[in-house]
Chain A
Amino acid sequence: MRPLGNQERDVADTRRLWNESQQATRSTWHDPVRIRFDEQHSRSLTSELAVLAADLTQASDAFAAILASL
């Protein structure tokens, strides 16, 4: 059992939606602006979402191991 499995999936889903929304907008606005947004904001946000997902996975694994040890 993974106690935080739903939340891991939620964050993974959020990352997917974010990536899709980026892709969807890339063809509709000016490249220099998009490049600046990607470099300054989007990349940081994508990275933070990845760290959050990793944190949840780590916590979920730890909880599962604890419950299994009972």
Chain B
Amino acid sequence: MMLPTARVIDFWRKASDSDIYWSFTRSKLVMVSALITAIFIIGAFGAPYLAPHNPFDLASLELSDAFKPPAWEDGGEAKYLLGTDDQGRDLLSTIMYGSRISLVVGFMAVIFAMTVGITLGLVAGYLGGAVDSFIMRVADVQLSFPAILIALLVDGVSRGILGQARHSDFAEAVLVVAIGLSYWVQYARTVRGSVLVEKSKEYVQAARVIGLPGPLIAIRHVLPNVLGPVLVIATINLALAIITEATLSFLGVGLPPTEPSLGTLIRIGNDFLFSGEWWITIFPGIVLAVLVLAVNLLGDWLRDALNPKLR
């Protein structure tokens, strides 16, 4: 029995000895992306403590402060570093709160897509036969349609079922489902492929010989062995999910202005682009682009680092 601290030290020793850590320290670009991602995550989730203002506290908002340019421009105030939007909300704070919403929706959507995809892929690969061909045909058909279209359709249908008023209460959940449903296919295909390989291996046959029930073998023995590639897809998908959420919110079918994500902020600012208030759009836009780029680079690196062929 090790002491907790000893265990932590042991973990770090092992981690710093691993291949992944080695390839991590090899590339400056990856380290910078990891740093940027970390800063964004801390800034986003620590928003209630770190943000200079609370943009959702209606009492502290003053309309006379609306449309203030960034602090370094003429008429800017040091109080509002990146300026304010049309309702006098501090842009830096709204961006921090907004990235939290974007990240949460992105993460949840990826988890949802993963759950659906892994389950269906596992079932298809393990059972085979008619179930397999049915699931894979559905996947094929869906794959020929772009994700954004599927997400828009799911959103439209859920509006019809829930009604417009109730839809905005569930906006976040609807987005998670809409984005998740448009990205499950990749997971299902990958998992099915690896399950087909694993299924014929000896340890699965051994498990069958001792008489374990099928579902138990699939979940306890096969599943852990097919998760590697899934994690790589998940990282790359996170960037896609964040973009899709931003796009849907920008198009006005995502999150409402009362609960703005980065996409909603860009949408709000877009209306003021022509009157010269460029900062309302551009700053959330830069944050979104840098965040997605950093996550993409991390995903690319992880894919190469976990690929034994490239070692």
Indicate, yes or no, whether A interacts with B.
no
B residues whose Cβ falls under 8 Å from a Cβ of A: none
A residues whose Cβ falls under 8 Å from a Cβ of B: none
